[in-house]
């Protein structure tokens, strides 16, 4: 309606993205449900990330084969099972 139908006048709506490097950081919270939820709330209150960026806490069983070695290390702290929640964020990498 307000655009000139002349294609020579129309400009592209595509903007280049920043060229600086970005890396992905994955955070994993593993523990009792209440402790995991409290850690998520604390990170949100510190404005590190929003609560909705975390996955729903999922129960983890100590005998899960893919987590066996991982959970053995956790069991040394006296905790068995619990829940796991993940958060992934991209962050810029400083050139230096």
pTM score: 0.58
% of the chain exceeding 90 in pLDDT: 25
With respect to residue 11, please indicate whether it lies within any of the assigned structural domains: no
Domain encompassing residue 56: 22-85
Three-class SS state of 65 = helix
pLDDT tens for each residue of 34-67: 999 999 999 999 999 899 999 998 887 666 556 6
With respect to residue 7, please indicate whether it lies within any of the assigned structural domains: no
pLDDT tens for each residue of 21-38: 678 888 989 888 999 999
With respect to residue 66, please indicate whether it lies within any of the assigned structural domains: yes
With respect to residue 90, please indicate whether it lies within any of the assigned structural domains: no
Residue 95: what pLDDT?
57
If one counts the domains in the chain, the total is 1
Helix, strand, coil % over all residues of the chain, rounded to 5: 30, 25, 50
Q: Are the C-beta atoms of residues 49 and 89 closer than 8 Å to each other?
A: yes
Per-residue pLDDT averaged across 5-15, rounded? 58
With respect to residue 9, please indicate whether it lies within any of the assigned structural domains: no
With respect to residue 32, please indicate whether it lies within any of the assigned structural domains: yes
């Amino acid at each position: 309606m307000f655009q000139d139908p002349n294609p020579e006048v129309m400009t592209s709506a595509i903007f280049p993205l920043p060229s600086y490097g970005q890396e992905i950081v994955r955070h994993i919270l593993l523990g009792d449900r209440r402790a995991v939820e409290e850690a998520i709330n604390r990170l949100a209150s510190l404005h590190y990330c929003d609560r909705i960026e975390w996955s729903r806490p999922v129960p983890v069983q100590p005998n899960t084969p893919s987590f066996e070695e991982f959970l053995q290390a956790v069991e040394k702290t006296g905790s068995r099972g619990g829940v796991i929640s993940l958060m992934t964020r991209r962050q810029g990498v400083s050139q230096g």
